[in-house]
Chain A
């Protein structure tokens, strides 16, 4: 399973990359796309929406199941990737290149609570 070392993760299977400007780019992990199977629908939060940590703010549906995508930390949505809405199957091909949305974190210290690659690898190995 592909778990890039430079990213952070949640136990609900989102990945998080901190950009140079301090915003967070968020997507779903390779493990998540694999478990869901062929993706056919993605709904993203509106830019400007304020979300709480662990709030359901996006939806992903495969042929067989629907699943919520959660905010890793509290913050404000500053961008949404319309490309994955148009072509959800791209997430199956590369879950880390095809991000969902960007968040400006309310409190950067919250990032310390996220999992690193080693902890996430352990989590999915035990699942």
Chain B
């Protein structure tokens, strides 16, 4: 039996094509994935991301605990509402998950973790906490829903359907959030566009979703979510980062704080020089589409595509690939697609931002 979000009936009523996504019954598109993609780049689209799990950590020792549990340093969070992107690592440096952590109060932080890893993450955090003399309480929040409203006109549509929210959220800087009644409104997302992610009681999710639809926000499925995040150069957990690779080999060195003297889980494993790296690819030759698991031939050795798709913004195929260190932006590489070897160019992601190509 697949798990359902509070918006399952709304998706079906809107004609969504539903798929099994890591055990969740989720919309992949509502007709055309490409049109949904363009709606987000040009206007406003919304995504049900209620399969992801908010986890609240309460207690005076929460900050110290998260400084130990996460590879990025929550000491950077000094203003309530500020968010930080981080990996959570195993002792050997493998990435258990990537997440966003919000600083709400000194005794209350909230992390939002991936759906497929949620149970594993909660168990891991509780096991870590159990070893400490003073640790936060860890509360999964399945009573909450989460809707991402993304695009150049996304914020004004949210203000339109949540009267009063403009006053508290208009001045929010990117990667910050604010409580608004029962809702939490954050200027974050996974598309490379402006917008909000709204966390709200599950019981209110359908009403909010339908109001947004009424205001002209287009429902978008996981298909568009994937092409948007890939154009924005954002990793997908389970593909571009896994337990088998450390963050330095997954294009996530910028999220690992090695400057502060603090210890954190996995730190000792990150001293060894990286052997592999994650790079962006743009397919130059015609003849197919970059896909996960295709082989990449480079002058420095072979690699593999970890995510690939057709980019609606660039009208070209793009991807991320794990390749040996020594491959640089501008290099030509060859991709095995069916019986051919097609040329691709190495680029530094992102591929597109705010609706414009960054790689041509």
Asked whether A and B interact, the reply is yes
Residue of A nearest to B316 (CB): A40
Contact of A41 among B17, B32, B226, B310 (CB under 8 A): B310
Residue of B nearest to A35 (CB): B17
Interface assignment of B118: CB less than 8 Å from any CB of chain A: no
Contact of A59 among B309, B310, B338 (CB under 8 A): B338
Interface residues on B, range: 10 to 19
Residues of A within 8 A of B34 (CB): 38, 63, 89
- Contact of B288 with A63 in the complex, beta carbons under 8 Å: no
1/0 per position for A80-108, CB-CB distance to B under 8 A? 00000000010010000000000000000
Interface assignment of B291: CB less than 8 Å from any CB of chain A: yes
- Contact of A63 with B310 in the complex, beta carbons under 8 Å: yes
Interface of B is mostly: mixed
Residues of B within 8 A of A53 (CB): none
Residue of B nearest to A40 (CB): B310
Residues of B within 8 A of A38 (CB): 32-34
Interface residues on A, range: 10 to 19
Q: What is the CA–CA distance of A92 and B35 in the complex, to the nearest angstrom?
A: 13
1/0 per position for A30-51, CB-CB distance to B under 8 A? 0000000110110100000000
Residues of A within 8 A of B17 (CB): 37
Interface assignment of A66: CB less than 8 Å from any CB of chain B: yes
Interface assignment of B110: CB less than 8 Å from any CB of chain A: no
Residues of B within 8 A of A59 (CB): 288, 338
Residues of A within 8 A of B236 (CB): none
Interface assignment of B172: CB less than 8 Å from any CB of chain A: no
- Contact of B288 with A64 in the complex, beta carbons under 8 Å: no
- Contact of A63 with B338 in the complex, beta carbons under 8 Å: no
Contact of A37 among B29, B291, B312 (CB under 8 A): B29
Q: What is the CA–CA distance of A63 and B309 in the complex, to the nearest angstrom?
A: 6
Interface assignment of A61: CB less than 8 Å from any CB of chain B: yes
Residue of B nearest to A92 (CB): B32
- Contact of A66 with B289 in the complex, beta carbons under 8 Å: yes
1/0 per position for A41-75, CB-CB distance to B under 8 A? 10100000000000000010101101000000000
Q: Give min CB distance, A122 to chain B, whole Å.
A: 22
- Contact of B288 with A61 in the complex, beta carbons under 8 Å: yes
1/0 per position for B221-232, CB-CB distance to A under 8 A? 001001100000
Q: What is the CA–CA distance of A41 and B17 in the complex, to the nearest angstrom?
A: 22
Residues of B within 8 A of A41 (CB): 288-289, 310
- Contact of B227 with A66 in the complex, beta carbons under 8 Å: no
Q: What is the CA–CA distance of A38 and B34 in the complex, to the nearest angstrom?
A: 7
- Contact of A61 with B289 in the complex, beta carbons under 8 Å: yes
- Contact of A43 with B291 in the complex, beta carbons under 8 Å: no
- Contact of B227 with A63 in the complex, beta carbons under 8 Å: yes
- Contact of A37 with B288 in the complex, beta carbons under 8 Å: no
1/0 per position for B279-305, CB-CB distance to A under 8 A? 000000001110100000000000000
Contact of B289 among A37, A40, A92 (CB under 8 A): A40
- Contact of B223 with A64 in the complex, beta carbons under 8 Å: yes
- Contact of A37 with B310 in the complex, beta carbons under 8 Å: no
Q: Give min CB distance, B238 to chain A, whole Å.
A: 16
Q: Give min CB distance, B86 to chain A, whole Å.
A: 29
Q: What is the CA–CA distance of A75 and B304 in the complex, to the nearest angstrom?
A: 37
Within 8 A of A (CB), among B22-55: 28-29, 32-34
Question: 23 A-B residue contacts at CB 8 Å?
Answer: A37-B17, A37-B32, A37-B33, A37-B223, A38-B32, A38-B33, A38-B34, A40-B310, A41-B288, A41-B289, A61-B310, A63-B33, A63-B34, A63-B309, A63-B312, A64-B33, A64-B223, A64-B226, A64-B309, A66-B288, A66-B289, A89-B34, A92-B32
A38-B33, A59-B288 known; 8 new pairs, CB 8 Å cut-off, are A37-B33, A37-B223, A40-B289, A40-B310, A59-B338, A61-B310, A66-B288, A89-B34
| B interface residue numbers (CB < 8 A to A) | 17, 28-29, 32-34, 223, 226-227, 287-289, 291, 309-310, 312, 338
